[in-house]
């Protein structure tokens, strides 16, 4: 079952029908009854999934090369889409590509190509066609009609995977919200028209049709109600998160966020660094919930390290929106460790995609340490690290390079601080404790008038402790 199931189980009845109804589902698909999951004449069935779970669907991929991109870009996009489809639990049986100056408004690909796609879909007996680019609701509807089968896009596949992997209450609510928002403009009446339909089973779902109301209106009202409920729930959870953040700020513990492309090895690295026990899988989007652990750095500072949800090219904006409060972790962090899979076919493209998303969520300005991972299987990792000054090459798997990474993190965090000499009266143990909490104590010695301390402090800490700071002679390096 997916995590996107409404809690008030309005749809239990319909879901029950789908369970084990393998044959029916398959034959239904070839009837042109408008009940495709993509444009969703039948909102609410199959527990919200875009890709069938009761059997492995056969899927055709469609990629379009638009300027300034090359055919190689399109193939690389489709390679990744194939991985996404596989992760979602379906099999790719073929690809269709087209080069165009711009998408065809009605069907994204040209008329002749639609015909070719339909013939191929029939020949290979595929269940669903997946486009690598986002389709408008109208394009999706037109394509489904022309092809006689479900047409979805990369966004739907990613939403589907997220729905399968969400486990926390917040994660589930976020995915469900993103799915509903994606679906709302795609709701159609059965048969593909906005026809007046008998209420049918819908009448029992707590959203009875009023006089003159179409089934479509009932569906839309029901989804909107659910969207509002989810938004309210998520707001409550976000408020709790704010409280936690305030507590962290008060304790002045700094936060290091591990960010990066999906499957780069962020969770493996968190486990390696902190002994956490986060699920690691050779699977896209294994992590949807951030895990945070204490991390002791060389030099004595203890920080918090947090794992985050992975990014991907063309990450659906509905998801970014819905996951805003989770993604805020990166924007709030004192520093990002950007984990890059050095063994991936195109690490640069992945880094670019990650930076795009970081910019979108307001984390573009957070200091970033590049960490090329999987050096054990990527001979290129060291060369990549050389090309990016200040970066490190590691293997989260074997532990190679981890000490250097820890040093680099400690040093980078220190870079924002300045060393000060302080004189603290002997009876001010509280101030001494504060210095230890706020900064990194480099030396500490009892003098004639009190404790003489040299410590690295952030500007805010230095301002608070100003009255204990001894001015250094001009020209003395700090
Ligand atoms: N060879 C090798 N494999 C690694 C290394 N680090 C991680 N992996 C593998 O890469 C895959 C993904 O690792 P994860 O830690 O789950 O990656 P992630 O970035 O958390 O991925 P998502 O949460 O799905 O975004 C797993 O199969 C890991 O075993 C490494 O240093 N070397
Ligand atoms: Mg992970």
Specify the pLDDT at position 212: 67
Residue with tokens 């904006």: 317
Alpha carbons 227 and 294: distance in angstroms, whole number: 36
Query: Using a 6 Å cutoff on CB, does residue 337 contact ligand 1?
Result: no
CATH 3.30.70 fits 417-470, yes or no: yes
Q: Give the residue extent of every domain in the chain.
A: 12-222, 253-414, 417-470
DSSP SS3 for 166: coil
For residues 458 and 465, give the distance between their C-alpha atoms in angstroms, rounded to a whole number.
Answer: 11
- State the pTM of this model: 0.77
Q: How many CB atoms lie within 10 A of CB 352?
A: 12
Q: Which atom of ligand 1 is nearest to the CA of 286?
A: 24
- Ligand 1 center to 287 CA (angstroms): 11
Fold match, 253-414 / 417-470: no
Give the chain's end-to-end CA distance (angstroms, integer).
Answer: 59
State whether the beta carbon of 262 lies less than 6 angstroms from ligand 1: yes
Whether 151 and 36 have beta carbons less than 8 Å apart is answered as yes
Does the Cβ of 374 fall within 6 Å of ligand 1?
yes
Q: Find where tokens 């956490």 sit.
A: 276
At the fourth CATH level, which superfamily is domain 12-222? GTPase HflX, N-terminal domain (3.40.50.11060)
266 in contact with ligand 1, CB cutoff 6 A: yes
DSSP state of 135: P
**Given the CA of residue 260, which atom of ligand 1 is nearest to it?**
19
Q: Which CATH number fits domain 253-414: 3.20.20.70, 3.60.130.10, 3.40.50.300, 3.90.1150.10?
A: 3.40.50.300
Q: Return per-residue pLDDT of the chain as tens, 478 residues.
A: 333 333 333 333 333 333 333 333 333 333 334 444 544 433 333 346 788 877 899 999 999 999 999 999 999 999 999 999 999 999 999 999 999 999 999 999 999 999 999 999 999 999 999 999 999 999 999 999 999 999 999 999 999 999 988 888 888 999 999 999 998 888 875 444 333 333 333 333 445 566 667 888 888 999 999 999 999 999 998 888 888 888 877 777 889 999 999 999 999 999 999 999 888 988 888 888 888 999 999 988 899 999 999 999 888 888 888 888 788 889 989 999 999 999 999 999 999 999 999 999 989 888 899 999 999 999 889 899 999 888 999 999 999 999 999 999 998 888 777 889 999 999 999 999 888 877 778 889 999 999 999 988 877 788 889 999 998 755 454 5
pLDDT digits (tens, 9 = 90+) for 392-450: 999 999 999 999 999 999 988 887 778 899 999 999 999 998 888 777 788 899 999 99
Q: In the structure encoding, which two tokens stand for residue 296, read together?
A: 């002791």
- Indicate the DSSP class of residue 283: S
User: Strand runs (DSSP E) across 86-199, as ranges?
Assistant: 91-99, 128-131, 150-153
pLDDT tens string 18-61:
333 333 333 333 333 444 454 443 333 334 678 887 789 999 99
User: Which ligand 1 atom minimizes the distance to the CA of 373?
Assistant: 31
Contacts of residue 33, defined as CB under 8 A and 6 or more positions apart, other chains included, come to 41, 190, 191
Closest to 216 measured CA to CA, from 233, 238, 240, 200: 200
Pocket test for ligand 1, best of 88, 260, 265, 278 (most atoms within 8 A of CB): 265
Tokens encoding 36:
């495709």
Reading the block at residue 346, the tokens are 């195109």
Give the C-alpha separation, 46 to 54, whole Å.
Answer: 9
Task: Tell me the C-alpha distance between 265 and 267, whole Å.
Answer: 6
DSSP helix, strand, coil percent of the chain (3-state; round to 5): 45, 20, 35
Residue 215 Cβ inside 6 Å of ligand 1? The answer reads: no
The residues with which 437 forms a beta bridge, in sequence order, are none
Rounded Cα distance between 29 and 57, Å, is 11
The answer to whether residues 371 and 337 touch, using CB atoms and an 8 Å cutoff, is: yes
């Amino acid at each position: 079952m997916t995590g996107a199931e409404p809690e008030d189980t309005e749809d239990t009845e319909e879901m029950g029908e789908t369970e084990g109804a393998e044959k029916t589902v398959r034959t239904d698909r070839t009837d042109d009854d408008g009940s495709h999951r993509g444009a969703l004449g039948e909102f609410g069935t199959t527990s919200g999934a875009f890709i069938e779970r009761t059997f492995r669907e056969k899927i055709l991929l469609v990629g379009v090369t638009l300027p300034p991109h090359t055919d190689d870009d399109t193939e690389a996009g489709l390679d990744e889409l194939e991985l996404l489809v596989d992760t979602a639990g379906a099999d790719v049986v073929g690809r269709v590509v087209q080069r165009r100056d711009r998408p065809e408004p009605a069907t994204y690909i040209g008329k002749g190509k639609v015909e070719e796609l339909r013939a191929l879909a029939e020949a290979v007996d595929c269940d669903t066609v997946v486009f690598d680019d986002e389709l408008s609701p109208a394009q999706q509807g037109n394509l489904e009609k022309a092809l006689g089968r479900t047409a979805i896009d990369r966004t739907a596949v990613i939403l589907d995977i997220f729905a399968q992997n969400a486990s926390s209450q917040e994660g589930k609510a976020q995915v469900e919200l993103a799915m509903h928002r994606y679906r709302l403009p795609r709701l159609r009446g059965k048969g593909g028209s906005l026809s007046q339909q008998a209420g049918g089973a819908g009448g029992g779902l707590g959203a009875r049709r009023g006089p003159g109301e179409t089934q479509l209106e009932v569906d839309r009202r029901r989804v909107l109600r659910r969207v509002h409920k989810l938004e309210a729930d998520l707001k409550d959870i976000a408020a709790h998160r704010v409280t936690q953040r305030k507590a962290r700020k008060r304790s002045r513990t700094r936060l290091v966020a591990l960010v990066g492309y999906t499957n780069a090895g962020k969770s493996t690295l968190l486990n390696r660094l902190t002994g956490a026990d986060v699920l690691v899988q050779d699977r896209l989007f294994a992590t949807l919930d951030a895990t945070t652990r204490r991390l002791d750095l060389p030099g004595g500072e203890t920080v918090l390290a947090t794992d985050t949800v992975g990014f991907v090219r063309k990450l659906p904006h509905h998801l970014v929106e819905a996951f805003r409060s989770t993604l805020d972790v990166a924007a709030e962090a004192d520093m990002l460790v950007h984990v890059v899979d050095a063994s991936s076919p195109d690490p640069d493209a992945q880094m670019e995609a990650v930076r795009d998303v970081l910019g979108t969520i307001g984390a573009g300005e957070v200091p970033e340490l590049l960490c090329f991972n999987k050096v054990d299987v990527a001979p290129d990792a060291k060369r990549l690290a050389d090309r990016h000054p200040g970066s490190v090459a590691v293997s989260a798997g074997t532990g190679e390079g981890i000490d250097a990474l820890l040093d680099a993190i400690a040093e980078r965090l220190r870079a924002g601080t300045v060393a000060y000499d302080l004189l603290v009266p002997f009876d001010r143990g509280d101030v001494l404790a504060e210095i230890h909490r706020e900064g990194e104590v480099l030396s500490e010695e009892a003098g004639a008038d009190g404790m003489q301390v040299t410590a690295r402090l952030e500007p805010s800490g230095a301002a608070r402790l100003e009255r204990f700071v001894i001015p250094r002679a001009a020209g003395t390096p700090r």
